[in-house]
Amino acid sequence: MLKFHGTGVALITPFHDDLTIDFVGLKNVIDHVINGGVDYLVVQGTTGESATLTKDEKKQVLKASLEYNAGRVPIVYGLGGNSTQAVWDEIKNTDFTGIDAILSVSPYYNKPTQAGIIAHYRTIADSSPVPVILYNVPGRTMSNVTYQTTLELAKHPNIIGMKEASSDMSQCMRIAAKMPEGFLLISGDDILTPSMRVLGGQGVISVLANAYPEIFKIICHGDLEASKIAAFKLLDINPMMYEESNPVGLKFLMSELGICGDAVRLPLLKASDSLKERIRKNMVK
């Protein structure tokens, strides 16, 4: 699955000030990241504020993203949830034309056992017509997908990788040490991408690549020294992207770069004046 090596960008969903979807802004973002050298797009992940889009809006964003991409890079579609039946139903009602894989977050809120997580993902992988990339983000789901569970799920022929956002490098090492050949270990933390490369990771699904795709091209495809130096450029601004929740800081950064507006949907609010000032001071030149 070389098509998913390198930088995947978790696309934001731009909004007008009245909070309707800004499709011109979306096209600007897609052109910006592709021209900057990203390897694939991730549509409707957490960074795309998928939690506050209706089913119809998600279909509109997917359709527009496919149109604007025009086959230039592969597309991964965010399709997950904490009801296995609901995810299964959504898979059955999705047109997968132009979709190369799905990214499916581990069930959140209901805190399943590891056996429940395995059963959930097997059901999804059995029903999905495209490959499945797992997504472990304990800070949002409140449950961790252990390395043993990841390795068990990696045996499924339709599960091709794991976006690992636990920030637990020991866990990542244990996956890397025993994962089957061809399985994708993908960084879910922008700053840790060079470290993940050393372990055998194949890239990142990134937040900041929305703004700085050229930097991530170096992080993912440069030699390890260049990768490290490029990542160091983001050390100060990276935590600001999450300080008032993703994608609040990112959308303000994108507005400062002139790519799209900074509107977010409730319960998120636009960046505070303090955060705006610090982002301006720490923007990568």
Q: What is the pLDDT of residues 2-14, one digit of tens each?
A: 799 999 999 999 9
Question: What does the pLDDT look like over 167-222, one tens digit per residue?
Answer: 999 999 999 999 999 999 999 999 999 999 999 999 999 999 999 999 999 999 99
List the one residue out of 126, 206, 124, 200 whose CA is nearest residue 163. Answer: 206
Which residue among the candidates 163, 217, 251, 276 is catalytic per the annotation? 163
Tokens 């034309």 appear where?
Answer: 97
Rg (CA), the chain: 18
Q: Is 75 annotated as a binding residue?
A: no
The yes-or-no verdict on residue 80 having pLDDT over 90 is yes
Tell me the mean pLDDT in the region 247-273. 98
Whether 163 is catalytic: yes
Angle of helix 55-69 versus helix 23-35 axis, rounded to 10:
40
Q: What is the mean pLDDT of the chain?
A: 97
Tell me the mean pLDDT in the region 77-89. 97
Tokens 């390395």 appear where?
Answer: 147
Is-contact 210 33, C-beta < 8 A? yes
SS3 85: helix
- Rounded to whole angstroms, the Cα distance separating 243 from 259 reads 22
Q: Is 205 annotated as a binding residue?
A: yes
pLDDT of residue 25: 98
SS3 6: strand
Which residue among the candidates 77, 121, 135, 147 is catalytic per the annotation? 135
The domains located in the chain, with CATH, are 2-234 (3.20.20.70)
Report which residue type is found at 54. Answer: T
- Rounded to whole angstroms, the Cα distance separating 158 from 163 reads 15
The yes-or-no verdict on residue 1 having pLDDT over 70 is no
Q: Both tokens of residue 104? A: 């499916």
pTM to 2 decimal places: 0.97
Angle of helix 213-221 versus helix 224-232 axis, rounded to 10:
150
The yes-or-no verdict on residue 47 having pLDDT over 80 is yes
How far is C-alpha 77 from the geometric centre of its chain's CA atoms? 10
pLDDT of residue 139: 92
Longest dimension (CA), the chain: 49
pLDDT of residue 29: 98
The yes-or-no verdict on residue 140 having pLDDT over 70 is yes
- The burial of 205, by beta-carbon neighbours within 10 Å (0-12 exposed, 13-18 middle, 19 or more buried), is given as buried
Is-contact 126 158, C-beta < 8 A? yes
Whether 109 is catalytic: no
Percentage of residues in the chain with pLDDT exceeding 70? 100
Is-contact 73 37, C-beta < 8 A? no
Question: What does the pLDDT look like over 32-41, one tens digit per residue?
Answer: 999 999 999 9
SS3 40: strand
pLDDT of residue 249: 98
Question: What does the pLDDT look like over 108-119, one tens digit per residue?
Answer: 999 999 999 999
Percentage of residues in the chain with pLDDT exceeding 90? 98
Tell me the mean pLDDT in the region 244-264. 98
Q: Both tokens of residue 238? A: 């990276």
pLDDT of residue 285: 76
Report which residue type is found at 222. Answer: G
Question: What does the pLDDT look like over 222-244, one tens digit per residue?
Answer: 999 999 999 999 999 999 999 99
